[in-house]
Amino acid sequence: METISENACFGGVQGVYRHKSDSCRCDMTFGLFLPEEARDENVPLLWYLSGLTCTHENAMTKAAAQGWAAEHGIALVFPDTSPRGEGIANDDAFDMGQGAGFYVNATEDPWKPHFRMWDYVAEELPALLARNFAIDAERQSITGHSMGGHGALTLAMNLPERYRSVSAFSPICNPASSDWGRKQLSGYLGADESKWARHDASLLMREKGFDGPMLIDTGTNDQFIELLRPETLAEAIAARRQQAAFRMQPGYDHSYFFVSSFMEDHIAFHAEALWT
């Protein structure tokens, strides 16, 4: 593992690291914030999964998360959103290929050799963090924005004992029935829609739910709200009687101005679960 940078940040360290990924068969880069407490003990970990076109850097520099994480003594990890580099499949559109891994393991060409973001986030990167940093692997929670909100919700519901809490900012809630989803799920996983269900938060909510606290925020002025389909997740939460706070925030859009406005709420929400 290569250290790209380490900077003092709110009493802790914001680092950026690169390593060779077995899952994605390429070099992968991630950001990791460790609070001051990590100098003396293992600390809880909050995952932040980013959205379409993002790298590890977007949320690391725009989400205003480190200060709140430092206040609660929580580490933050910012993975990349896809494999990248020469010889790795891509698409001219912004919503497919590099920068748009959708947190699935691709089974279709040309994506399947490298696009295994599910294994990377669920297995490989957690193990690497536990081996190399002061992380308490028994105390993890997860959040994300847009495509990353989709990833956070689907990982949490498919790995029921992994995360103590889950939240999402403007998640893609029903990709199996949305133009932000059908293209990607069919491209990565093939035409058999039965294989898509484990990557659709609204369908998973009806089937499994999540055994823990959940927080969802979406802006009423989100310019992509028809693609996000938040109403499908709200209906599924109500039908299952899931423990959840589902909030439509008046006037907010899809940007990091929205994410940073409610980051304090989300980190405090996760801190309560992580330190209990």
Q: 190-232, pLDDT tens digit by residue?
A: 999 999 999 999 999 999 999 999 999 999 999 999 999 999 9
The span from the CA of 233 to the CA of 221, in Å, is: 18
Section 76-99 average pLDDT:
96
Indicate the SS3 state at residue 164. coil
What pLDDT, on the 0 to 100 scale, is given for residue 119?
Answer: 98
Section 63-71 average pLDDT:
98
CA dist 19 to 28, 98, 119, Å?
Answer: 6, 18, 15
Q: What integer best gives the mean pLDDT of the chain?
A: 97
The phi, psi pair for 253, rounded to 5°, reads: -110, -155
Task: Using alpha carbons, select from 125, 97, 129 the residue that is nearest to residue 113.
Answer: 97
Say if CB 144 and CB 152 are below 8 A apart. Answer: yes
Q: How does residue 260 score in pLDDT terms, banded at 50, 70 and 90?
A: very high
What pLDDT, on the 0 to 100 scale, is given for residue 246?
Answer: 98
Say if CB 201 and CB 216 are below 8 A apart. Answer: no
What pLDDT, on the 0 to 100 scale, is given for residue 55?
Answer: 98
What pLDDT, on the 0 to 100 scale, is given for residue 269?
Answer: 98
Q: Which one is catalytic: 72, 150, 199, 254?
A: 254
Section 43-69 average pLDDT:
98
Handedness of CA 181, 45, 2, 20 (dihedral sign): negative
What pLDDT, on the 0 to 100 scale, is given for residue 216?
Answer: 98
Class of the CATH-defined domain 2-274: alpha beta
Q: How does residue 21 score in pLDDT terms, banded at 50, 70 and 90?
A: very high
Q: Which one is catalytic: 21, 50, 141, 146?
A: 146
What pLDDT, on the 0 to 100 scale, is given for residue 49?
Answer: 98
Handedness of CA 198, 166, 19, 81 (dihedral sign): positive
222 catalytic per annotation:
yes
**pLDDT > 70 fraction of the chain, expressed in percent and rounded:** 100
- What tokens does 232 get? 């499908």
Q: What is the pLDDT of residues 115-150, one digit of tens each?
A: 999 999 999 999 999 999 999 999 999 999 999 999
DSSP state of 65: -
Say if CB 30 and CB 60 are below 8 A apart. Answer: no
The phi, psi pair for 195, rounded to 5°, reads: -80, -10
Say if CB 121 and CB 105 are below 8 A apart. Answer: no
- What tokens does 257 get? 């101005």
Q: Which one is catalytic: 80, 167, 222, 270?
A: 222
Q: What is the pLDDT of residues 146-164, one digit of tens each?
A: 999 999 999 999 999 999 9
- Neighbour tally for 179: CB within 10 Å: 12
21 catalytic per annotation:
no
The phi, psi pair for 96, rounded to 5°, reads: -150, 145
Say if CB 116 and CB 15 are below 8 A apart. Answer: no
Q: What is the pLDDT of residues 24-55, one digit of tens each?
A: 999 999 999 999 999 999 999 999 999 999 99
- What tokens does 14 get? 């914001």
Say if CB 82 and CB 115 are below 8 A apart. Answer: yes
